[in-house]
């Protein structure tokens, strides 16, 4: 049931994007094909990744939207924060394409790239977006959903870390020197994802992403709960 609901949500997003344009046309212009992806990404063993190929001839968009699909029928973990985020990013892309009105094809793929669970209550899902607007270079961006599915709460820097001005210099020195120039206020705005054994801060550059990683064990003294992020 959860699998069908996840696919229904993502298909609803796709159909809503072009509904206004399509409703007055005799032929439907948005075509989707369901498919399952088998790639070397880090995904929890009880999930797979599935979704839809997109071919939107109205807006000249093609690509894919992918979401986690549980392999267990009785899985009640809420992944709506992930599917909603992917849907919002897709809608923003469509809006941008419409504003540009450029000739040529526009490519987008949005998918989970690193989806792991910790402590029987938290998951971290790194979402990768690859786009190529007509006549421009391909760009990749990342954003993370960290969600406490027991408390139904999205988590940020201050929910995870006990870092303030007094201990910030020691904290930031655990990472690459290129990140040490950031002030605490700025670092709190940087996307980060929790991985199996480490935490990575993902700083977007010009068409690139710089990922600054440190092990969970080395970061443990700086957690609000120094027993958190045990592996599941």
* Dihedral angle, C-alpha 167, 186, 138, 213, nearest 10 °: 0
* Amino acid 102: pLDDT: 81
The model's pLDDT over 57-106, given as tens digits with 9 standing for 90+, comes to 888 999 999 999 999 988 999 999 999 999 999 999 999 999 988 889 99
**Mean of pLDDT over the chain:** 84
The model's pLDDT over 163-178, given as tens digits with 9 standing for 90+, comes to 999 999 999 999 988 7
**Burial of residue 194 (number of CB atoms within 10 Å: 0-12, 13-18, 19+):** buried
DSSP type of residue 223 = B
DSSP type of residue 161 = B
Question: Are 84 and 65 in contact, with CB atoms under 8 Å apart?
Answer: no
Lowest-pLDDT choice from 20-24, 53-57, 83-87, 127-131: 20-24
Distances (CA, A) of 17 to 5, 103, 116: 19, 20, 30
Side-chain-facing half-sphere of 44: CA atoms under 13 Å: 24
Question: Are 211 and 195 in contact, with CB atoms under 8 Å apart?
Answer: no
The model's pLDDT over 195-228, given as tens digits with 9 standing for 90+, comes to 999 999 998 876 677 889 999 999 999 999 988 8
| CA–CA separation, 86 and 181 (whole Å) | 31
| CA–CA separation, 59 and 55 (whole Å) | 9
What H or E segment, with its residue span, contains residue 66?
A: strand 61-70
54, β-bridge pairs: 32, 63
Residue 8, SS3 per DSSP: helix
**Burial of residue 9 (number of CB atoms within 10 Å: 0-12, 13-18, 19+):** middle
Section 114-140 average pLDDT:
93
* Amino acid 32: pLDDT: 47
Residue 27, SS3 per DSSP: coil
User: What six digits make up the tokens of 12?
Assistant: 């609803």
- Residue 5 pLDDT level (bands cut at 50, 70, 90): low
Question: Are 193 and 146 in contact, with CB atoms under 8 Å apart?
Answer: yes
User: What six digits make up the tokens of 49?
Assistant: 């990744």
Global pTM value: 0.83
62, β-bridge pairs: 55, 107
Pairing of strands 30-37, 42-43: unpaired
């Amino acid at each position: 049931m959860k699998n069908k609901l996840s696919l229904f949500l993502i298909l609803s997003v796709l159909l809503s994007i072009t509904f206004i344009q399509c409703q007055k046309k005799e032929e439907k212009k948005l075509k989707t094909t369901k498919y399952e992806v088998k790639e070397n990404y880090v995904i929890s063993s009880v999930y797979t990744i599935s979704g839809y190929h997109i071919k939107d001839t109205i807006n000249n968009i093609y690509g894919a939207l992918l979401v986690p699909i549980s392999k267990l029928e009785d899985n009640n973990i809420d992944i709506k924060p992930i599917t909603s985020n992917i849907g919002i990013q897709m809608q923003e892309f469509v809006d941008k394409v419409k504003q540009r009105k450029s000739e040529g094809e526009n490519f987008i793929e949005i998918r989970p790239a690193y989806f792991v669970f910790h402590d029987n209550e938290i998951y971290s899902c790194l979402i990768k977006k690859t786009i190529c607007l007509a006549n421009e270079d391909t760009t990749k961006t990342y954003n993370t959903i960290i969600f406490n599915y027991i408390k139904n709460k999205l988590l940020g820097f201050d929910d995870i870390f006990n870092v303030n001005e007094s201990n910030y210099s020691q904290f930031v020195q655990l990472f690459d020197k290129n990140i040490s120039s950031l002030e605490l206020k700025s670092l709190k705005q940087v996307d980060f994802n929790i991985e199996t054994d480490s935490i990575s801060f993902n700083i977007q550059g010009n068409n690139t992403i710089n990922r600054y990683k440190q092990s969970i064990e080395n970061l443990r003294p700086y957690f609000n709960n120094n027993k958190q992020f045990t592996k599941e």
